[in-house]
Structure formats: structure tokens, C-alpha cells
Amino acid sequence: MKRILMKTQTFGKMAALGVVSIICLAASPAAWANLIQNGSFESPTLPFATISGTSPNNWTGGQYLISQGTFNFPNAEDGLQYEDPVNSNPGTLSQTIAITTAGNYVLTFWLNGYNGNSYGMNLFFPSHTGSYVGPLGAFYTGTGSSTWAVETFSFSFLTTGSLTLEFLPGSAAPNLIDNVDLELQPTAGVPDSGATAGLLGLGLAGLFALRRKFAWAA
């Protein structure tokens, strides 16, 4: 009876340790989540085939919100809507993001033009707090088509802080933007979200196998 009790206590300690490890894996890191709010411009929701002067939620500025099916405009790159920061008057589209973890960041976004016309988009970082390391802007250009062009921009934060990013169209022609994404990049030795899920599965399987081993030994 004493032997069984000791085995039960040992398994209980190992199981508790395994559960704590699994929780730590699941809880870290909070990276790889998109820090941009409403990056695909799905809010507010527009009726099908609509161009609206409504600004997208969570963004400052912007001129025209466009929904799928609008004549001669491409389908959205992600979701059903996208933004044209300017049509007839130059305007800006901006958002301020809290940087809660120091590290390397990658900003991705998709650009397109109207009905085969060229487009141009400026990216600026007009303000920030904390220790920012990287360029303060870039310019992107291309020709509109049924396929969106993905652009990337990398920078680092040595401390926590905040960052304001701003898109400024390079012309009065439609300059379309969709699927804006800002993510903290994984560091060496830290599993990404897919690896974390795999490790969770292995951990649970190991606990189950260990439980069976103790059951047979008893």
C-alpha cells in the first residue's frame, strides 16, 4: 500500500510539473499576433459593392472604404474590404501602436491600383516613444492588377514604447491598401505558434503515457 501511495504521489508531482510546463508554453510568447487593429479594414461593415467616405475603425484619417464587388476595383486581398486613403484630395491613414516587448518587428501590407493604373504609397513613422532603430519611411509603387503586391518593412525596438505609422498616397489616383500586419519576430530558441501547438500535443501524450506506466507498475 505504501509503495502504491509513493508511486501515486510521484506521478502527481510529475503531472503537475508537466501541466505547468504546458501552461508556460501556451502562454509564451504573446508575439506573432498582429498588433494592428482592423488591419484588413473589415470594420465598419459595408454593403456589397460599396464605396463609402467612412473612415475605417481604429484608424485616423482615410478617405474611402471599399467593399468587394465594386466595379473595376479588385477583390480584397484579405476579407471583403480595403481602404483607399485618397481619391481626389491627398490624405493620410495612420494608427498608433503600443510596443510592449523589445525586439525585431516586421510590418507587411498589400498595395494595388485601380483598373491597371499605377499607384504610389509613402510609409512614414512620424512619431514614436522608446528606442526605435530603423528607417523612418519608404516609398512603394506599382501597377494595379487583379493581384495585390505585398510589401515588407523591418525595424527594431530596444525598449518598450509606442509607434505611429502613417500611409500617405503618392498621387490623387486610387492607391489601395489592405491586410496591414505588424508582428514581433521570434527569437532564437523560442518556438513559433505552430511549434508551441506541437509541443503541447507531445506534452499531453507524454503525460498520458506516464500515467499508464505508473498504472501498470502499481
Domain count within the chain: 1
Note whether residue 191 is domain-resident: no
pLDDT digits (tens, 9 = 90+) for 166-201: 999 988 788 999 999 999 999 765 454 454 455 445
Residue 147 lies in a domain: yes
Range of the domain at 164: 51-88+96-184
Q: Environment class of residue 116 by beta-carbon count within 10 Å: exposed (0-12), middle (13-18) or buried (19+)? A: exposed
With respect to residue 203, please indicate whether it lies within any of the assigned structural domains. no
CATH number at residue 71: 2.60.120
Cell of 77: 486581398
Banded model confidence at residue 148, pLDDT cuts 50, 70, 90: very high
- Lowest-pLDDT range, 91-105, 134-148, 199-213? 199-213
pLDDT digits (tens, 9 = 90+) for 69-127: 999 999 999 999 999 997 555 579 999 999 999 999 999 999 999 988 999 999 999 99
Across 14-36, average pLDDT: 55
Residue 209 lies in a domain: no
124 belongs to a structural domain: yes
